[in-house]
């Protein structure tokens, strides 16, 4: 088990939002910007540090979110894709961090209990990555990665992140069964569906943290 106090969080929010048509991180969902939901979950955990990687629309995002002690860094080449933001985020972390939880800024349904399940896994240098396996299907995010596996980020390409890398190294991955799903918000239509769903129940509220 890796304690939250020895683990950093990296929030990837540098995308161009090309399919969304505007600054996706600031799109309102249940009264808060989309990215705020992800930051509120990270704040509820108590990580040793939270690094948010920004790129496109960075200035506007910085002005409109409720920041705590998150450290914001900028990807100098956000058009190089999600993988470049992952590398920027990991390279920005304090050397004292044993592991990093990678969160995607466009997944506002990420849940505290899923993060806690990942942190409870015994990731180590031998088996350094833990991912959720959602019963309702979907991608395997967020992802917990032990420092020993951070060099794998160099193998990631474009917007595919670590997904292909993990498929190439299944022996390094622990899967954790969890309920529900954790969808990306890629388009205004995705956001509209979520806005009218019951999934807001149990979400951390920014003003209560």
Homologous superfamily (CATH) of 4-197 is Spore Coat Polysaccharide Biosynthesis Protein SpsA; Chain A (3.90.550.10)
Average pLDDT, the chain: 89
Average pLDDT in the 13-30 region? 82
Going by C-alpha positions, the residue among 190, 10, 180, 4 that lies closest to residue 84 is: 10
Mean pLDDT check: name the lowest of 4-18, 114-128, 140-154, 172-186.
4-18
Categorize the per-residue pLDDT at 17 as very low, low, confident or very high, splitting at 50, 70 and 90: low
What's the rounded Cα separation, in Å, for the pair 100 and 144? 6
**Measuring CA to CA, how many Å separate 169 from each of 128, 166, 175, 186?**
11, 5, 13, 28
Q: Tell me: pLDDT of 123 over 90.
A: no
Q: What pLDDT, in 10s, does the model give residues 24-73?
A: 899 999 999 999 999 999 999 999 999 999 998 899 999 999 999 999 99
Residues 6+ apart with CB under 8 A from 72: 51, 52, 54, 58, 62
Average pLDDT in the 137-159 region? 88
CB burial string 106-123: b at 16+ within 10 A, e below: bbbbbbeebbebbbebeb
What is the percent of the chain where pLDDT is above 70?
91
The tokens of 128 are what? 């350094």
pTM of the model: 0.92
Q: Tell me: pLDDT of 140 over 80.
A: yes
Q: What pLDDT, in 10s, does the model give residues 89-122?
A: 999 999 999 999 999 999 999 999 999 999 998 7
């Amino acid at each position: 088990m890796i304690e939250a106090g020895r683990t950093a969080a990296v929030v990837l929010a540098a995308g161009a939002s090309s399919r969304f048509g505007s600054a996706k991180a600031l799109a309102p969902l249940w009264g808060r910007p989309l990215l705020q939901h992800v930051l509120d979950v990270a704040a509820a955990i108590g990580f040793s540090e939270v690094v948010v990687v920004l790129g496109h629309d960075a200035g506007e995002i910085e002005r409109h979110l409720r920041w705590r002690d998150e450290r914001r860094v900028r990807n100098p080449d956000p058009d190089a894709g999600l993988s470049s933001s992952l590398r920027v985020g990991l390279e920005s972390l304090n050397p004292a961090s044993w592991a990093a939880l990678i969160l995607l800024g466009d997944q506002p349904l990420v849940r505290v209990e899923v993060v806690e399940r990942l942190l409870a896994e015994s990731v180590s240098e031998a088996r350094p990555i833990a991912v959720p396996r959602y019963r309702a299907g979907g991608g395997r995010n967020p992802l917990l990665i032990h420092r020993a596996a951070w060099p794998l980020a160099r193998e990631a390409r474009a917007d595919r992140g670590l997904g292909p890398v993990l498929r190439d190294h299944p022996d390094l991955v622990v899967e954790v069964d969890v309920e529900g799903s954790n969808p990306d918000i890629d388009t205004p239509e995705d956001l509209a569906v979520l806005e009218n769903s019951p999934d807001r129940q149990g979400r951390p509220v920014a003003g209560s943290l």
